Amino acid sequence: MKPCLLAAALFAAGSVFATPAFAAKAPDAPKGNQPSKDEIKLVKVTPEYWRVILDHPPFNIFGPETVPQFNAVITQLETDPKVRVVVFESDVPGFFLTHYDFVPPLTDTTGLKNGPTGLPPVPDMLIRLSKAPVVSIVKVRGRATGVGSELSLASDMRFASREKALFSQWEIGAALVPGGGPMARLPRMMGRGRALEVLLTGDDINGDLAERYGYVNRSFPDAQLDGFVDKLARRIARFDKQSIADIKKLVNENSLPPDQEIGQGWDAFIESVKRPAAQKNIKVLMDEGLQVKPDVEVRLPEYTGRLEPVP
């Protein structure tokens, strides 16, 4: 039996709710969209410099099977005595990291325990990444949508391909509220007006505009991105770990939102996925090929823009 749409949407919330008002079938996914055993690859370039490679083709969708893998990486970053810098990047052409997986049954997520912060796994891990005594850098080429954007915002530094990076918080288009902390993080980075533009349009932000808005530190011509990030990471990896941790801690105290704000966003997301409008919109997107057809994933803002207005 295919999972119901509300259960699929509630997967992203990671909480248990009552039986949904209606059920709908998700489209069958091709073999290439089935979860791999190793979606997150940890490469230790040196003991001090690590790379985390996101590799879940064809779209780098984040699902319940990804959670323990991602948590294992965060735990190692928190506890390893030598690592100083980590770079997150993608091995899937066209996609850095996208939205949550709407296909697995709800029980695949509801069986996961809250993390050390007391929050559900996804916001928990993003908060812990921001506070880890390690410099986290994202290198974005391709689409960073939903959780991909939220991983970028939770990291310490963001660098993007000028030609190939696309950032978005797509959720408003499906009548959802983002759950991974962008309402708390974006205003602090780019100001209230620009944050609302990102969150209330659900539209794509390319590398150049992301730099202008403060979504990323810098954007580079694609051919220069790898070399710059590698040089930067190697430089930071040479420095004293305790000094890195102390600097991050003091900067965090003056820049990070309280955990409570991230939790409030998560609660708002949970409420939004219970509403009929979100159930209807996700069903339409799934019927059109969300998670199956490349065109839908590549041009997601166009597809959400075609949805009937919410009365």
- The structural domains of the chain, with segments of one domain joined by +, span 5-303
| pLDDT computed for residue 38 by the predictor | 85
pLDDT at 20 exceeding the cut of 60: no
The answer for residues whose C-beta is within 8 angstroms of residue 159's C-beta and 6 or more apart is 137, 138, 139, 140, 216, 217, 218, 219, 220, 225, 228, 229
CA proximity to 261, closest of 165, 149, 117, 156: 117
Under the banding of pLDDT at 50, 70 and 90, the label for residue 110 is low
pLDDT at 182 exceeding the cut of 50: yes
| pLDDT 10s digits, 269-297 | 878 888 899 989 999 999 999 999 999 99
- Average pLDDT of the chain is 88
| pLDDT 10s digits, 240-269 | 999 999 999 999 999 999 999 998 988 888
Q: Which residue has the tokens 């620009």?
A: 194
Window from 38-47, 56-65, 270-279 with minimum mean pLDDT? 270-279
Output the CATH code of domain 5-303.
3.90.226.10
| pLDDT computed for residue 227 by the predictor | 98
199 neighbors 216 (Cβ within 8 angstroms): no
| Local structure of 54: helix, strand or coil | strand
Mean pLDDT, residues 109-133: 91
pLDDT at 31 exceeding the cut of 60: no
| pLDDT 10s digits, 196-224 | 999 999 999 999 999 999 999 999 999 99
H helix intervals, 49-120: 66-79, 107-110
Window from 110-114, 116-120, 196-200 with minimum mean pLDDT? 110-114
| pLDDT computed for residue 10 by the predictor | 43
Beta bridge partners of residue 162, listed in sequence order:
none
291 neighbors 33 (Cβ within 8 angstroms): yes
pLDDT at 176 exceeding the cut of 60: yes
Window from 11-15, 48-52, 126-130 with minimum mean pLDDT? 11-15
| pLDDT computed for residue 247 by the predictor | 98
Distance CA 265, CA 184 (A): 8
9 neighbors 102 (Cβ within 8 angstroms): yes
H helix intervals, the chain: 5-13, 66-79, 107-110, 121-131, 147-154, 182-190, 192-201, 207-213, 222-237, 241-253, 259-273, 276-288, 294-298, 300-305
Window from 27-41, 139-153, 246-260 with minimum mean pLDDT? 27-41
Mean pLDDT, residues 91-112: 82
Tally the C-alpha atoms within 13 A of residue 57's C-alpha that lie toward its C-beta. Answer: 6
pLDDT at 1 exceeding the cut of 70: no
CA proximity to 255, closest of 144, 159, 154: 154
Percent of the chain whose pLDDT exceeds 90: 76
| pLDDT computed for residue 104 by the predictor | 72
| pLDDT computed for residue 37 by the predictor | 65
What pTM did the predictor assign?
Answer: 0.89
| pLDDT computed for residue 8 by the predictor | 44
The answer for residues whose C-beta is within 8 angstroms of residue 140's C-beta and 6 or more apart is 90, 96, 148, 152, 158, 159, 160, 161, 165, 167, 207, 216
